[in-house]
Amino acid sequence: MRLYFLRHGIAEDLAASDFDRALTKRGRRRVATSAKVMKRLSLEPVRIFSSPRLRARQTAEIIADALDMPVTISEAVNFGFDHGDLRRLTRKLDADDEVMFVGHNPDMSLLVSELTGLDLSMKKGGLARIDILGRSVDEGELVWLIAPKVFDALGMAAQEAGKRDDAPNATPAQKTPATSQPLHSLIQRRWSPVGFDRKRDIDRATLLSILEAARWAASSSNLQPWRFIVAPRANEAEFQKILSILREGNQSWAQHAAVLMIAVTHKFRAPDVENRHASHDLGLAISQLVLQALDHNVYVHQMGGFYPEKAREVYDIPEDFEPFTAIALGYQTLNLDHLSESHREREGAPRQRQALSEMVFNGSWGQPADFLNESNR
């Protein structure tokens, strides 16, 4: 087994509590650079366990995003992470699995020292790779220990060599839900921002990839009832046309998006035969579009708040098609100066969901399914 121990990045000194200490801007930047280097090193952990403390979670999420792996938040990696915790967390893993732990000092340094028999101290953002020699995780060999400064230098070298800068535009911590189960990082990171970076356009290849993802959605009888009217901001006239169709509350933030769309659905499967699943299938296509977009670090915000009849008029949409939703896409920004107070508040608010028990039933309607355990209720 190959174990990676990562100490969280540089965090702010003060917060409401130690638990809430977030990464600083520099900390985020450094972790993002490390993440790119880790990707080039072809790290492929099957699990990334993170301490629940915010600075560790944010570190883990940036790495997980780059490596395309979900994060498992685990109390075991919190303060006091020790050999017993390591044994428990790795018990069900295969001998050739790679696993990463994102946590705190002194536990990280102590554990790495204990496993290798060396006296090691890990810096913030430092990463150690230890290969386990036998069947149990009692003894390992230190293959390398990368200090954050080395990550910086490697990251810079790669950039200078002209590699594309695809540092993850990380989802803010308050928008990353503490899910009851591990999820794919794209699902975990998705949210609907109103803060879009008006200086960044979406290039043509990225936009085509996003639309291609919608194209390959499932649909009833493969009818593919979705249609998209698409206006990149670079096409000022088209962009303004869609913007004018949005409700005013949405216009105020969506004007900063990089691309606006109107999603339209074809309502009939044959003349006079309604397609009952048309809007369902449009939703599926948009869901794929949203996740593909996020894979390019492009965030999507869907809107019911627009004037369908105005869309019909402006674009001459035939009667058998229905303008269903509007969609804003763009790179998110954490600079919210251009937004209203209420929108700024909305960006800072945590995301909420009903419990699984309120939506997953068996036995009879409304009865939580019997396989849901306590943590899901």
- Per the CB < 8 A criterion, the answer to whether 124 and 147 are in contact is no
Q: Residues 245-284: x/- map of binding to ligand FMN (CB under 6 A)?
A: -----x----------------------------------
**Contact flags string 187-216 toward ligand FMN, x per CB under 6 A:** ----xx------------------------
For ligand FMN, the closer CB: 25 or 353: 353
Q: Which is nearer to ligand FMN, 78 or 302 (CB)?
A: 302
Shortest distance, CB of residue 11 to ligand FMN, whole angstroms? Answer: 25
Q: In the set 172, 182, 305, 308, which binds ligand FMN (CB under 6 A)?
A: 305
Residues 6 and 59: beta-carbon distance below 8 Å: yes
Closest CA to 55 of 123, 103, 89: 103
- For residues 250, 255, 261, 265, the Cα torsion angle rounded to the nearest 10 degrees is 20
In the complex, the smallest distance separating the C-beta of residue 337 from ligand FMN, rounded to whole angstroms, is 19
DSSP string of 199-234?
T-PPPHHHHHHHHHHHHT---GGG---EEEEEEETT
Question: Is 377 a binder of ligand FMN (CB under 6 A)?
Answer: no
Burial of 53 (0-12, 13-18, 19+ CB in 10 A): buried
Half-sphere exposure for 188 (CA within 13 Å, toward CB): 25
Which tokens belong to 15? Answer: 């917060």
- 332 contacts ligand FMN (rule: CB under 6 A): no
For residue 271, say if its preceding peptide bond is cis, omega within 30 degrees of 0.
no
By CB under 6 A, the count of residues binding ligand FMN is 9
Residue 292 in the binding site for ligand FMN (CB under 6 A): no
303 touching ligand FMN, by CB under 6 A: yes
Q: Is residue 376 near ligand FMN by the rule CB under 6 A?
A: no
Q: Is 246 helix (H, G, I), strand (E, B) or coil?
A: strand
- Residue 350 interacts with ligand FMN (CB under 6 A): yes or no: no
Using the minimum distance from each CB to ligand FMN, give the nearer residue, 248 or 319: 248
Q: How many Å apart are CA 64 and CA 59, to the nearest integer?
A: 9
Stretch that binds ligand FMN, among 4-12, 34-42, 160-168, 301-309 (CB under 6 A): 301-309
What angle is formed at CA 304 by the lines to CA 275 and CA 225, rounded to 5 degrees? Answer: 25
The phi and psi torsions of 176 (rounded to 5 degrees) equal -95, 110
Nearer to ligand FMN, 98 or 281 (CB): 281
Per CB under 6 A, contacts with ligand FMN among 3-62 are none
Q: Which position among 313, 351, 358, 369 is part of the footprint of ligand FMN (CB under 6 A)?
A: 351
Residues in touch with ligand FMN (CB under 6 A): 191-192, 250, 302-305, 325, 351
